[in-house]
Amino acid sequence: MQIKKVCCFGAGYVGGPTMAVMASKCPEQLFVVYDINQQQINKWNNKQYPVYEENLDEYINQTIGKNLIFTCDIDLALKDCDIAFLAVNTPSKQFGMGAGSSLDISYIDSCIQDIKQYTLTKKLILVEKSTVPIKTCDYINAILQNKNICVLSNPEFLAEGTAIQDLLNPDRVIIGGPIESSKQLASLYEQWIPKDKIIFTNIYSAELSKIVANSFLAQRVSSINSISIICDKIGADVNEISQCVGSDTRIGNKFLKTSVGFGGSCLKKDLLCLIYLCESLQLDEVAQYWKQVYLLNEFQKQRFINLIITSMFNSLKNKIIVILGVSFKAKTNDTRESASLIIIKKLQEEQAILRIYDPQGKIDNIEQYQSLDGIFQGASAIVILTEWEEFIKIDYSQAFNQMAKPAYCFDGRNLLSGDLMKSLGFLYYGLGRV
């Protein structure tokens, strides 16, 4: 089968950028991105992208109107389609059994119902690109009961903020499922990705690999954050520990930055999904092992909140606190599960007056500063929660002069030089650093 047309359910953080890059690398194929949300589709079509990613506009401009279409018309998406990606959201389930840990696949469900009702005129390769619970492929097959549809698992590993780079040059592409269809899907990727980076696996391994990869990443952050807590007690420097430990090539130096806790829509939900899987397999010791990774992350956020409140003598009422960063990491506008959300909530409970700024991220129903102009005037504290480069470049000497005294700085990303900040007069607190 020669692949001529590809569609994608879901025009979000994954569907939009992934299809834009694919369309630019596969000019012979047509890519139709379908979403039930008309507003979302309008944004893509009107250059007001719902996703902020470096160089994304370049890839959309190259392809939109040529071989890339964003639409709410399911016929346009499925008619004569050879490959359909499912890139819809799979959040933590919020109700019933497994609430708060299992993944909610109801959005996948409704895609499958749409496909089941559609009269397909040719064979279809249906690809799980969303992160799904293990054996979702069996569930999909049981619903569809259609020999002309072959289900594959092809999880996505892009990280927000570096999505385009990750899509152009992924560490690996995993394709799980029947080999003939897997090779057809691989033929798309082979148009820009070296063959040796494409790994063929059985379908359960592909599904599980995604959950495991995110859980390992979460584990790295919790590991270094746990060490930051020890450093705070003994006067060692966690940044130095990261460097010393990460120089061992067996350990590697990535994902060893201590922080106020990992956020984002996926690390936590996928880690919780792994814990739920262990529990449902009655593997209690394994579940406990992974649960600690999650609990440590919650503890790290709480620890930072306590640090702010106790350092300011439990007296934040009517004090102005500048919050720098609401995105869950730099270079993205995404605030889902950002540590900032809980920290802002707790500081509001203390009745502090918050001035919040982020170059891209916006939180619903909270007023934010559009720039840093005037933000430090009369403030008692600066709280850094996202590692935007813009925050390194601030003239902190000028900020200090404008602030009330004592002037505190709580650096939840170890972004600044503690020595420099202290020399300017700040009461500076980083994580795991003297």
Binding site for ligand NAD (CB under 6 A): 9-15, 34-37, 40, 87-90, 107, 110-111, 130-131, 156, 158, 160, 265-266
Judge whether 210 counts as a catalytic residue: yes
The least CB distance from residue 93 to ligand NAD, in Å, is 13
Q: Single out the segment in contact with ligand UGA by CB under 6 A; choices: 196-204, 262-270, 272-280, 400-408.
A: 262-270
Number of residues near ligand UGA (by CB under 6 A): 20
Q: Does 158 bind ligand UGA (CB under 6 A)?
A: yes
Q: Which of 5, 25, 93, 210 is catalytic?
A: 210
**Residue 169 binds which one of ligand NAD, ligand UGA, none, with CB within 5 to 8 A depending on kind?**
none
Block residue for tokens 């996948």:
108
Q: Does 361 bind ligand UGA (CB under 6 A)?
A: no
Block residue for tokens 């925050």:
391
* Cβ-based nearer residue to ligand UGA, 45 or 360: 360
CB 137 within 8 A of CB 207: yes
Q: How many CB atoms lie within 10 A of CB 415?
A: 20
The least CB distance from residue 28 to ligand NAD, in Å, is 25
Judge whether 111 counts as a catalytic residue: no
Q: How many CA atoms lie within 13 A of 188 on its CB side?
A: 29
CB 86 within 8 A of CB 10: yes
Nearest Cα residue to 334 out of 217, 162, 117, 124: 162
Judge whether 266 counts as a catalytic residue: yes
Sketch the per residue contact string, 128 through 147, with ligand UGA: x for CB under 6 A, - otherwise. ---x----------------
**Residue 217 binds which one of ligand UGA, ligand NAD, none, with CB within 5 to 8 A depending on kind?**
ligand UGA
**Residue 17 binds which one of ligand NAD, ligand UGA, none, with CB within 5 to 8 A depending on kind?**
none
The least CB distance from residue 156 to ligand UGA, in Å, is 6
According to DSSP H, which parts of 235-283 are helical? Answer: 238-246, 267-280
Pairing mode, strands 408-411 and 68-71 = unpaired
Contacts of 109 by beta carbon, 8 Å cutoff, 6+ apart? 143
Residue type at 34 in one-letter notation? Y
Residues 268, 273, 279, 283: is their CA dihedral positive or negative?
A: negative
* Cβ-based nearer residue to ligand NAD, 129 or 346: 129
Instruction: Tell me how far the alpha carbon of residue 355 is from its chain's centroid.
Output: 25
Secondary structure (DSSP) of 83-106: EEEE----PBP-SSTTTTTSB--H
Q: Does 88 bind ligand UGA (CB under 6 A)?
A: no
Q: Does 157 bind ligand UGA (CB under 6 A)?
A: yes
Residues 397, 429: Cα–Cα separation, whole Å: 17
Q: How many CA atoms lie within 13 A of 227 on its CB side?
A: 18
Q: Which of 128, 156, 160, 387 is catalytic?
A: 156
The least CB distance from residue 387 to ligand NAD, in Å, is 17
Q: Does 263 bind ligand UGA (CB under 6 A)?
A: yes
Residues 74, 81: Cα–Cα separation, whole Å: 11
* Cβ-based nearer residue to ligand NAD, 11 or 305: 11
Q: Which of 262, 276, 396, 429 binds ligand UGA (CB under 6 A)?
A: 262
* Cβ-based nearer residue to ligand UGA, 328 or 426: 328
Q: Which of 266, 273, 278, 409 is catalytic?
A: 266
Nearest Cα residue to 262 out of 308, 326, 217: 217
Residues 423, 331: Cα–Cα separation, whole Å: 30
- Strand pairing partners for 7? 32, 84
Residues 142, 139: Cα–Cα separation, whole Å: 5
Q: Does 273 bind ligand UGA (CB under 6 A)?
A: no
Residue type at 383 in one-letter notation? V
Q: Which of 5, 257, 319, 433 binds ligand UGA (CB under 6 A)?
A: 257
Residues 84, 125: Cα–Cα separation, whole Å: 6
Of residues 323 through 352, those in contact with ligand UGA by CB under 6 A are: 328-329
**Residue 11 binds which one of ligand UGA, ligand NAD, none, with CB within 5 to 8 A depending on kind?**
ligand NAD
Q: Which of 259, 340, 380, 414 binds ligand UGA (CB under 6 A)?
A: 259
Block residue for tokens 């790295």:
220
Active site positions, annotated? 156, 210, 266
Query: Residues interacting with ligand UGA, by CB under 6 A?
Result: 131, 156-160, 214, 217, 221, 255-257, 259, 262-264, 266-267, 328-329
